[in-house]
A and B are shown apart, each in its own frame.
Chain A
Amino acid sequence: AQRVTQPEKLLSVFKGAPVELKCNYSYSGSPELFWYVQYSRQRLQLLLRHISRESIKGFTADLNKGETSFHLKKPFAQEEDSAMYYCALLGQGAQKLVFGQGTRLTINP
């Protein structure tokens, strides 16, 4: 079974502090992992995907197959990072994404 777990429903950090949003997954094959973000009053949008190995808005995420994790990190949080973040998994040959429960990140000034 495919499952994505985001253990923190809420995360609050101060501006300038490092941020780490946790994501763990359960999947027997080689998944593709994504982070989606939803800013206030906006639609969900793709933030980054592991195969791209890119940094978007200062965020990075590394797929750790040994720990089955795909944590999202940013060294210095900014107020505009406040949003809802969803981790998502796409299994091999799958037609649909499996989403985690989401983490609401709040950056305090």
Chain B
Amino acid sequence: AQTVTQSQPEMSVQEAETVTLSCTYDTSESDYYLFWYKQPPSRQMILVIRQEAYKQQNATENRFSVNFQKAAKSFSLKISDSQLGDAAMYFCAYRSRDDKIIFGKGTRLHILP
């Protein structure tokens, strides 16, 4: 079975600085998809960024980028120029071939003004 591990329950970063959230996963599949979701206090889960395992190029969405290391099964999220609105719970997620999305336990990110 697939597992997703986020080893940082909480992190803090100064506004305008850069922060990296860690995620590792375990799978025997060769073809899969990885996501980072953000859940602010409003509760809605918002897709931040996605990565297809067969693509070597790291995904980027504006201030958000990932460092995808397939051999190491690592999928970290880098947030540049952190803003107050980035404060939220961030979940790393794995989508398997049978369409189950498995979430890590989450990292709560605090932005310090």
Are chains A and B native binding partners rather than an unrelated pairing?
Answer: no
Binding site for A on B (CB under 8 A): none
